[in-house]
Amino acid sequence: MSTLLSLRNLSIQFDTVRGRLNAVKEISLDIESGESVGIVGESGSGKSVLSRATMGILHGGNVHKSGDVTFDGNLLSGLSAQELREFWGTGMAMIFQDPMTSLNPVRKIGTQIGEALRIRLGMSKDDANKKSAELLRLVRVPDPDATLNKYPFQLSGGMRQRVMIAIALACDPKLLFADEPTTALDVTVQAQILELLDDLRKSLNMSMVLVTHDLGVVAGHTDRVIVMYAGEVVESAKTTDLFANMRMPYTEALFKSIPTLDTPTGTRLPTIEGRVPDPTQENPGCSFASRCSYVQEKCRTEHPPLTSDGNDHHYRCWFPIQVRSTL
């Protein structure tokens, strides 16, 4: 497999009224073609900012970006929006969290799918219509031809998310960012959408970055998981390896806060006490120190580097959890 996307020391900062906010700190990662990578973290961990910044669609004068983004052999950092646009839709595409607000309410589904085809691929109206119906069939929307003439408000949330996926796939992207694609949907629909994304990724040989706060979503649908906390990568490993051997206390805490069927009724679900540290403040120690149950003196004063266990499993912790299984 070849590397499709590579980030080197990508940092994103925002100017806010309270000073400079470090949203993403020095992130380096590689995504192979055909690979599915999950980015997990709680609200404010920088996962959405990371995916938007990678594409380059963060806009506004208060964004500061540093580091290199290389996509498919092209260095994207430093390109103007005009030049970046060449990669949007055709190289990288994104689907968004809330299918209720991601479609234009006053325009028909057909126009919205066809738009990308006509503008980016220069298709005629008829061709775009045919291709749109085909895309809807691909994302398993029942009765695609009738759906083309509907407005977003006439579709359910799950159907709208399918339409969003169809739009994102319109120009045959090599990399699909799915930014919390199932968060706004109910559980049964979530499973269907994840299943669909999985199938499409395999059949279209696409890479996918699945951004979510839900470790459960990541479990069955990714090859590799990156756990983010306070704008940093705190753990990254093969999905199976991560769930077997969590090294970083934060990952473990996240995992423990997922309800399971075998916890006795009436048990309080563990939560992670405290809050994400203020991203406008510099913190000398580990960013998770204030909430970690294994915290030691060193954690508060020295920032842990990202260390490897030699097995492509990286973690950012001074006192990692010992490997429990010796499989």
Partner 1 sequence: MLKKQPISVIFAAAWLAILLFFALFGPFLPIPDTLHSFEDSLSVGIFSQGHILGTDSNGYDMFAQLVEGSRYSLLIAGISVTIGALIGSIVGILGAFKQGIFDRIANALFSVVLSIPNLLLSITLIAVFGTSPDPSNPVPPSRRLIVVIVSLTIVIVPILGRIARSTAISWSNRDFVTAARSMGMTDRQIIVRHIVPNVMPALMAIAFLAIGVVIVAEGSLSLLGAGIGEKTTWGSMIARGRSDIEYYPHILFVPIIAVALTVISCNRLGDQVRRNLDPREARL
Could you list the residues that contact partner 1 (CB under 8 A)? 52, 55, 57, 59-61, 85-90, 92-98, 101-107, 115-116, 119-120, 151, 153-154, 164, 167-168, 170-171
Burial class (CB in 10 A: 0-12, 13-18, 19+), 301: exposed
CA distances to 186, 214, 239, 241, 282 from 219, in Å: 18, 9, 7, 11, 33
Phi/psi at 273 (nearest 5 deg)? -65, 155
Token representation of residue 49: 């900012």
Nearest CB to partner 1, comparing residues 182 and 251: 182
Nearest CB to partner 1, comparing residues 120 and 238: 120
> CB of 139: closest distance to partner 1 in angstroms?
15
Long-range Cβ contacts of 236-241 (<8 Å, 24+ apart)? 236/29, 236/313, 236/314, 236/315, 237/312, 237/313, 237/314, 238/312, 238/313, 239/38, 241/311, 241/312, 241/313
Nearest CB to partner 1, comparing residues 104 and 308: 104
Nearest CB to partner 1, comparing residues 136 and 234: 136
> CB of 157: closest distance to partner 1 in angstroms?
13
Is 37:226 a contact under the CB 8 Å cutoff?
A: yes
> CB of 181: closest distance to partner 1 in angstroms?
12
Nearest CB to partner 1, comparing residues 86 and 312: 86
> CB of 208: closest distance to partner 1 in angstroms?
15
> CB of 229: closest distance to partner 1 in angstroms?
25
